[in-house]
Amino acid sequence: MRPRRYPYSGKRKKQSDRQIAKLKRDIDVNRTNISSLKFVIETLSNHQNYR
C-alpha cells in the first residue's frame, strides 16, 4: 500500500468542490445583500434626520 497524498479523491473530491463553490456563491450573495441593507439603513437614517 502506497501512502495516499490526498485524504479523498475522485467522486468524493468532486462533491466537496461543488459544496465549496456553492458556499462561495452564497457568501458573495450575502455580501451584496449586506451592502444594500447598509445603503437602505443610511438613507432611512438620513430621512429621519431631515424631519
Tell me the per-residue pLDDT of 4-42, one tens digit each, with 9 for 90 and over. 666 666 777 788 889 999 999 999 988 999 999 999 999
CA dist 1 and 13 (Å) reads 21
**Higher per-residue pLDDT: 49 or 27:** 27
CA dist 32 and 40 (Å) reads 12
- CA 15 to chain centroid: 18
Q: Considering the entire predicted model, what is its pTM? A: 0.48
CA dist 49 and 35 (Å) reads 21
Would you mind telling me the total number of residues written for the chain in this entry? 51
